[in-house]
Structure 1
């Protein structure tokens, strides 16, 4: 028997439960069975619970284990797996959910964890940091350019800001007033969101905004889209409908091991700090989700599971 935190149907927190699964998942071709040490918590986790699904996703089979990014230790490998062996410390995108004692990782989106990188920090990289890395690369701004990040205080925003600053970009970011000091500690010019946000951004960036990396969507995205004329420099990590209507593009996720290796190197080198601000044990996974769902967290929340 193994423990996992699941949702049993689409809906709100009432659908969540900590359950005992009858057995460990069995690794198939190209998969790793991983004993999970830590799992990152992301907004997409609670969105999936409410019924959100990506185009082309297979029908949901309940119960669904929460979580898409993990770190842990390889317990077994499936057929045709090379480059990994039992006992290897790894991190990557979970195929069978991350809020669990065991999960499966496809080798194409798994990487070896450097010794200098903790399991807790590694669990923040496969979704949040990798999305940030892909988005900053997609915008391809030269040093000295000015980047606006909406929702800069969350997990993706904190990573994107650090990566951008490390490349010599000037970063302006929107976040609640309560996150001002935290955001400024990242080297970001803080602007409060809400009515009049475009004017406030112009006031702190009188030479203009060269690109927008949106992490909020909806009305917040619409309010700042007017700041960039080149719509290839308007990207969103979450709101595909609004970004398409505005003529911009979604963040193009590469979802490969090479990106994971690169973001891990950024952490080890000191360029990227994961900023894990709270951790929870698996039995308190619901509290971790509520904290992210309410939207007031600075940085990342991680569920610590293994020894």
Structure 2
């Protein structure tokens, strides 16, 4: 089968097409095969490829296959949240790549997946959109639990134009929070429809924080740092506030009794089923920035890194 391998740590040019044996039924106890139709590219993929997490990867070194989010069809029957899912069922989910550290990701035609990693995909959600949802939405749900802010509190969401940030804006608004969103220029109207109270165009961090102070002179109660501003953002966070980051190396040191958290989503098939149903009913809105063939994974990484367009870049397989 075709896969895209990371051949060395570095820029997008280290991604290369390769062939590996296709998994056979029964080879991996407790796991089933999924033939993929789409795979999402995440910030974690970019940072792992660049070698930013090499010290946390144990003995795993190139060549390996990246990728967490996936959408496709089951090749084997599997237990699911509502009962047995027959072969051929459309599913979406994510591989906890960083916890597994096997080097087997979703930039591939067929993967092994634990049934807890995926959920059935409603007919109203296509494979492309589905591949943008699982990790981002579960990260957003987990982040909201970590923030644990009461209704009426003010939440600053950096990186609000991204898929994770958009989900946080929607969930926070539904929870009764006042959301200040930092976004790309042109996204303000859409984010306000999704629930943001105020929007600030992303730019130099100090200028962004000055504008945050104009909207919240006393500071904000919480920060969800999807744009990885890190320590500098603490300047607008109240004493005893809470800061949640989506990258382990961008979690600031605690100060002023501020609680700091790293948001790493955990697989949860039951919760993912609920989320995918919310996407199908348009209760939750996702965003796909680009769709590119698997063979163009290097260019897809370039676009994702450049912020070509906000949203998830998806590989079609």
Q: Give the TM-score band, short-chain normalised.
A: 0.7 to 0.9
User: Cα offset for 1:173?
Assistant: 1.6
Q: Does 1:233 align with 2:233?
A: no
SS in 2 for 1:141: coil
Instruction: With the length of structure 2 as denominator, give the TM-score of the two structures.
Output: 0.84
Of 183, 196, 213, the residue aligned with 2:207 is 196
Map Cα deviations across residues 68-107 of structure 1 (whole Å, 9 max, x no partner).
110111113689xx83432121111236211211111112
Alignment partners' CA distance in 1, 2:68 and 2:295: 18
State the partner residue of 1:47: 47
Structure 1 residues 25 and 165: CA distance shift in structure 2, 3 A: farther
State the partner residue of 2:101: none
Alignment of 1:1-307 (within 5 A): 2-24=1-23, 27-53=27-53, 57-76=57-76, 83-94=84-95, 96-177=104-185, 179-188=187-196, 189-191=198-200, 192-194=202-204, 195-206=206-217, 208-217=219-228, 220-231=229-240, 233-240=242-249, 242-245=251-254, 247-305=259-317
Alignment partners' CA distance in 2, 1:78 and 1:25: 15
Structure 1 residues 54 and 273: CA distance shift in structure 2, 3 A: farther
Structure 1 residues 205 and 103: CA distance shift in structure 2, 3 A: same
Map Cα deviations across residues 273-292 of structure 1 (whole Å, 9 max, x no partner).
11113211212222211111
Alignment partners' CA distance in 1, 2:11 and 2:163: 22
Alignment partners' CA distance in 2, 1:241 and 1:118: 34
Q: Which segments of 5 or more consecutive residues in structure 2 lack a partner in the other structure?
A: 98-103
SS in 2 for 1:48: helix
Q: Which segments of 5 or more consecutive residues in structure 1 lack a partner in the other structure?
A: none
SS in 2 for 1:28: coil
CA contact (8 A) 2:9 2:62 kept: no
CA contact (8 A) 1:175 1:193 kept: no
Alignment partners' CA distance in 2, 1:260 and 1:244: 32
CA contact (8 A) 1:34 1:74 kept: yes
CA contact (8 A) 2:12 2:299 kept: no
User: Cα offset for 1:34?
Assistant: 0.4
SS in 1 for 2:53: coil
SS in 1 for 2:252: helix
Alignment partners' CA distance in 2, 1:78 and 1:267: 23
Worse-matched range after superposition: 175-184 or 286-295: 175-184
The count of residues paired between Structure 1 and Structure 2 equals 300
Note the aligned Cα RMSD (angstroms). 2.6
CA contact (8 A) 2:78 2:115 kept: no
Alignment partners' CA distance in 1, 2:182 and 2:207: 12
User: Cα offset for 1:171?
Assistant: 1.2
SS in 2 for 1:60: coil
SS in 1 for 2:220: coil
Alignment partners' CA distance in 2, 1:50 and 1:30: 32
SS in 2 for 1:148: strand
